[in-house]
């Protein structure tokens, strides 16, 4: 008889490092609910995260987990998927981790289209290191290291992903858990690279982009008459126009995944017998015992 999983089955006993009220609590809650709704199993799920407040998230989700170095979550996630394509692979990080030091990996993961879900928690600041401006901070954002205001124009991560050939592009808000759960479920179900950017306020350092600010400055693409997420030109327009921030599934298309174009029907590396695969591998393995 099949066991019905609940969100609690994806919880861990690791104490949270996040500040009370952090938007990332909403993200992990929605992720656990999405996993339960989809009938995922921890033993068949791999969760890869980067550095920053958001990088802690892999320790709060019961599955195989890898907490990597700054900006490197996506190459690790891609490698995991290629090693065992039967795993559900999820990667997560913040706007700094993904759009700064990880920007090069981000671009190439998007264009390669591995079947990986990437959750970017965007708080528009560097929360772990005391609130410096991040790649998504607005011009003029005042911090301890930019007392005269941030001089750098903000990156539009989803527009970059669309330009790079993204096949599933969505945005949520951590104050809307039900909608966020549905976005994550759609992203995981999508056969290809899926990015879900989630507006996740930093209650400690970012006193500008607060929950109140976001509630007043977001809207849902479903409110646009006849909006079609398969219309790439319209998606570009929605992502780049000035004004309020669009939420929902902004663009989606289907094209071959990296796995389908490379490993195809080859057996998972994780299941191979290293001694029979190639005698040299056994020797290398023995050298590290």
Written as six digits, the tokens of 197 are 């950017």
* pLDDT at residue 278 tops 70: no
**Is residue 284 in some structural domain?**
no
**Is residue 274 in some structural domain?**
no
**CA end-to-end span of the chain:** 41
**Is residue 12 in some structural domain?**
no
Distance from C-alpha of 281 to C-alpha of 217, rounded to nearest angstrom:
55
Please report, rounded to a whole number, the percentage of residues in the chain having pLDDT higher than 70: 96
Please report, rounded to a whole number, the percentage of residues in the chain having pLDDT higher than 90: 75
Residues 110 and 165 sit within 8 Å (Cβ to Cβ) = yes
**Residue 1 contacts by C-beta under 8 Å, 6 or more apart in sequence?**
none
3-class DSSP assignment, residue 245 = strand
| pTM (2 d.p.) | 0.92
**Is residue 160 in some structural domain?**
yes
Q: How many C-beta atoms lie closer than 10 Å to residue 227's C-beta? A: 17
* pLDDT at residue 288 tops 90: no
Strand pairing class (245-252; 194-199)? unpaired
**Is residue 68 in some structural domain?**
yes
**Is residue 129 in some structural domain?**
yes
What are the strands, taking DSSP E only, across the chain?
A: 45-49, 64-67, 88-94, 116-122, 168-173, 194-199, 218-220, 245-252
What pLDDT, on a 0 to 100 scale, did the predictor assign at position 75? Answer: 96
Distance from C-alpha of 169 to C-alpha of 154, rounded to nearest angstrom:
18
- CATH for 125: 3.40.50.970
Residues 54 and 94 sit within 8 Å (Cβ to Cβ) = yes
Confidence grade of residue 275 (pLDDT, cut at 50, 70, 90): low
Residue with tokens 């350092």: 205
**Is residue 149 in some structural domain?**
yes
Convert the pLDDT of each residue in 105-156 to its tens digit.
999 999 999 999 999 999 988 888 887 888 988 899 998 888 999 999 999 9
**Residue 55 contacts by C-beta under 8 Å, 6 or more apart in sequence?**
49, 67, 73, 92, 93, 94, 97
What value does the mean pLDDT take over residues 241-269? 93
Domain that holds residue 68: 17-257
Convert the pLDDT of each residue in 72-116 to its tens digit.
899 999 999 999 999 999 999 999 888 998 889 999 999 999 999
Give the number of domains in the chain.
1
What pLDDT, on a 0 to 100 scale, did the predictor assign at position 1? Answer: 41
* pLDDT at residue 247 tops 50: yes
What value does the mean pLDDT take over residues 174-188? 97
User: Among 52, 50, 48, which residue's Cα sits nearest to residue 64?
Assistant: 48
**Is residue 265 in some structural domain?**
no
């Amino acid at each position: 008889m099949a066991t019905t999983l609940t969100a609690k089955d994806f919880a861990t006993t690791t104490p949270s490092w996040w500040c009370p009220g952090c938007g990332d609590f909403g993200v992990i809650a929605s992720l656990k609910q999405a996993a339960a709704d989809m009938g995922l199993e921890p033993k068949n799920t791999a969760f890869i995260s980067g550095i920053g407040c958001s990088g802690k998230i892999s320790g709060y989700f019961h599955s195989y987990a890898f907490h990597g170095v700054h900006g490197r979550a996506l190459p690790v996630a891609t490698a995991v998927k290629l090693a065992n394509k039967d795993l559900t692979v999820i990667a997560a990080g913040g706007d700094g981790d993904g759009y700064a030091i990880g920007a090069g990996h981000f671009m190439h993961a998007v264009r390669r289209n591995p079947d990986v879900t990437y959750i970017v928690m965007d708080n528009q600041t560097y929360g772990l290191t005391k609130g410096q401006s991040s790649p998504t901070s607005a011009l003029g954002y005042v911090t301890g290291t930019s007392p005269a205001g941030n001089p750098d124009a903000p990156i539009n991560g989803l527009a970059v992903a669309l330009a790079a050939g993204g096949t599933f592009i969505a945005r949520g808000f951590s104050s809307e858990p039900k909608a966020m759960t549905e976005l994550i479920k759609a992203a995981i179900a999508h056969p290809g690279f899926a990015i879900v950017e989630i507006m996740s306020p930093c209650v400690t350092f970012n006193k500008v982009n607060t929950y109140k600010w976001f509630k007043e400055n977001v809207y849902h693409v479903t409110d646009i008459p006849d909006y079609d997420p398969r219309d790439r030109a319209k998606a570009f327009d929605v992502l780049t126009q000035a004004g309020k921030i669009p939420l929902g599934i902004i663009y989606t298309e289907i094209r071959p995944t990296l796995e389908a174009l490379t490993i195809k029907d080859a057996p998972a590396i994780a299941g191979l017998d290293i001694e029979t695969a190639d005698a040299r591998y056994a020797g290398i393995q023995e050298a590290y015992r």
